[in-house]
């Protein structure tokens, strides 16, 4: 079977599956499971927010990323990452989010993979476009001290298929690290103003902006608030 025949067969299988699901009309199949039960893991990803990811090995690589998340355990969420909020968006990768308590319990060799969300929240890098202002602020307060482990399996969304090795992604952790063109594009798309969001969140949460430099190398362990000393926030 050549490539064209293979792709045609895959397409036919997809069409047949869609037809079978339509005919089933909610009745039990697939070994007694209903369609809704079969799709249950996807149905759990109801929380949407948008952020700017950068590659840990090269923070100049910055990508606007849509997160669709759901809870899987106490203190942990998992997210599917997409290139946009459109129905034909590319699946970029995955992110796992844990509480600060869970993160602190990890060995240092594992902490190398986890980035902080503090600057993203206070600096206006994270937004939740579907929430009203009050709900978004409450959500961001809850996200403030969490940590994320993120892999982009589609490293360059401009390519027609995923190319190359997965990228371990990181977060912006201090002023001057952002690509202003990427921020402007995100703000324009969702009709928000990152500078205003930043001011409002600092006022509401009451902490100064973190000042942590970008990782020196792939083996740098993340910090939330300061580059040196005790890693604690400073109140305004």
Domain ranges for the chain:
1-38, 42-205
Cβ 75 vs Cβ 101: under 8 Å? yes
DSSP reduced 3-state for 69: strand
The chain-wide mean pLDDT, for the chain, equals 88
Distance from C-alpha of 93 to C-alpha of 95, rounded to nearest angstrom: 7
Distance from C-alpha of 147 to C-alpha of 169, rounded to nearest angstrom: 12
**Confidence class of residue 6 from pLDDT cuts 50, 70 and 90?**
very low
Distance from C-alpha of 68 to C-alpha of 88, rounded to nearest angstrom: 15
Instruction: Give every CB contact of residue 83 below 8 A, 6+ residues apart in sequence.
Output: 63, 64, 65, 66, 89, 90, 92, 154, 157
Share of the chain above pLDDT 90, in %: 77
Distance from C-alpha of 24 to C-alpha of 188, rounded to nearest angstrom: 43
Helices marked H in 117-176: 118-122, 133-143
Q: Is the pLDDT of residue 223 over 70?
A: yes
Distance from C-alpha of 70 to C-alpha of 88, rounded to nearest angstrom: 21
pLDDT in tens, 26-84: 445 455 566 667 667 777 778 999 999 999 999 999 999 999 998 888 889 999 999 99
The answer for 209, left when phi > 0, alpha when psi is -120 to 50, beta otherwise, is beta
């Amino acid at each position: 079977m050549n490539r064209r025949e293979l792709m045609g067969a895959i397409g036919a299988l997809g069409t047949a599956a869609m037809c079978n699901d339509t005919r089933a009309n909610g009745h039990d199949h697939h070994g007694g499971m209903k369609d809704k039960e079969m799709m249950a893991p996807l149905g759990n990803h109801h929380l949407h927010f948008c952020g700017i990811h950068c590659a840990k090995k090269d923070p100049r690589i910055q990508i606007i990323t849509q997160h669709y998340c759901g809870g899987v355990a106490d203190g942990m969420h998992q997210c599917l990452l997409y290139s946009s909020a459109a129905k034909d968006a590319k699946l970029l990768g995955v992110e796992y989010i844990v509480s600060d308590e869970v993160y602190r319990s990890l060995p240092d060799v594992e902490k190398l993979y986890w980035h902080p969300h503090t600057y993203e929240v206070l600096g206006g890098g994270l937004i939740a476009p579907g929430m009203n202002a009050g709900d978004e602020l409450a959500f961001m307060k809850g996200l403030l001290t969490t940590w994320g482990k993120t892999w982009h399996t589609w490293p360059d969304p401009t390519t027609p298929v995923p190319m190359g090795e997965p990228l371990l992604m990181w977060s912006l952790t201090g002023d001057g690290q952002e690509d202003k063109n990427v921020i402007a594009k995100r703000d324009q798309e969702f009709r928000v103003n990152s500078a205003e969001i930043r001011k409002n969140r600092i006022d509401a949460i009451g902490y100064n902006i973190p000042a942590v430099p970008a990782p020196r190398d792939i083996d740098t362990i993340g910090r939330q608030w300061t580059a040196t000393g005790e890693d604690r926030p400073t109140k305004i």
